[in-house]
Chain A
Amino acid sequence: MRNGTSDVLNQFRQGDADAFEALFHQHQRAVYGWILRIVRNPATAEELTVETFWRIHRAHARFDPERGFAGWARRIATRVALDWLRTSRTESELSMEACAEVAAPVQADPAVTAEIRRKTALAFGRLPPKLRIAATLAVIEELPQKEVAEALGISVVAIKLRIFRALRLLRKDLEEQGITP
């Protein structure tokens, strides 16, 4: 089985179309789920999953089978999602607002009204994309910081710093709106 997987990875590296299709079917769900966590919109996540696999195909010659496919695909997916956050700021802010309105928190603090949640989501959507992506994955999704750091291609210390800056900017934005978190 291990040899079979290794064969597929080697074949993909050489540009084999069947190996690419096999890897697509094996990893599309994980890639889609990862992107969905960042962009929080199913239609956008589908579109970016297609874009991710196109970039994966384009970069096949640079793929190192020794390092595995999942982590490599996740790094490419993260870059695709980050590019989208940078270029579609209005759309991504609307996604944040929609999430705040649709999703009812499981253990909601009664002191936090729906209006405060909406304003927090909107303020979060206004953060610089590279801070937002770190805070989304490490704080909201509660993923291990090491995993987030690997996906973003930066150190764990840099992730901690980005989260700190994201929370500080978010607090400042809310305070300017008269909300004291």
Chain B
Amino acid sequence: MNEQDRERMKKLLRQSLPPVNSGDEPGRDLWPEVLRQLDVNLATKSGDSVSHGWVWFDGALAAGIVGLVAIFPAAIPMFLYYL
């Protein structure tokens, strides 16, 4: 493709898709939506960390109890008494 072909293609492209008006403004105030997105994402983020923390803690606690019961089976009645 030579220079002449390229210029012809550019001209065709500009005729098919004219430039948009760069001075256009959003049709509405976008700030409330930005705030909403910030709230949603921050809430999701903090919710995730809390939930992951508890999942890890619950797992460790369950593993500890199972280990204790396996080593000291005689402790089962005592656990059941305190439940």
Contact = CB atoms under 8 A, between A and B. Distances in A.
Interface of A: 21, 24-25, 28-29, 32-34, 36-37, 40, 42, 45-46, 49-51, 53-54, 57-58, 96, 99-100, 103-106, 108-109, 112, 116-118, 120-121, 124, 135-136, 139-142, 164, 167-168, 170-171, 181
Contact of A109 (B5, B9, B15, B33): B15
Given A32-B25, A164-B6, A135 B30 contact: no
Contacts of A34: 22
B16 interface: yes
B48 to A, nearest CB: 15
A112 B7 CA distance: 15
B52 interface: no
A29 B22 CA distance: 9
A11 B24 CA distance: 29
Interface of B: 1, 5-6, 8-20, 22-28, 30-31, 33-34, 37-38, 41
Nearest to A99: B17
B13 A140 contact: yes
A148 to B, nearest CB: 14
Nearest to A114: B16
16 contacts: A33-B25, A37-B19, A46-B30, A50-B30, A99-B18, A99-B20, A100-B16, A105-B15, A106-B18, A108-B15, A117-B16, A118-B16, A124-B13, A139-B14, A140-B17, A164-B1
Nearest to B29: A28
Contacts of A105: 14-16, 18
Contacts of A37: 19-20, 22
Nearest to A17: B38
Given A50-B37, A54-B41, A140-B17, A120 B12 contact: yes
A124 B26 contact: no
Nearest to A108: B15
